[in-house]
Amino acid sequence: MDLIFAGIVLEISGLAVFALGIYALSQNRGFLYAICLIICGISISIATLGISQNEFMGKPLTAIDKGEYKIAFVYMAGENVSVGIEENSGGENESEHLFLYQFPKSAFDSGSINPQAKKLTVVESGKFKKLMLE
What residues does each domain of the chain span?
A: 2-57, 67-133
For the residues 83-102, what does the mean pLDDT come to? Answer: 79
Using CB atoms within 10 A of its CB, is residue 120 exposed (0-12), middle (13-18) or buried (19+)? buried
- Letter string b/e over residues 47-66, b meaning 16 or more CB atoms within 10 A of that residue's CB: bbeebbebeeeeeeeeebee
Residue 53 has pLDDT above 80, yes or no: no
For the residues 116-131, what does the mean pLDDT come to? Answer: 81
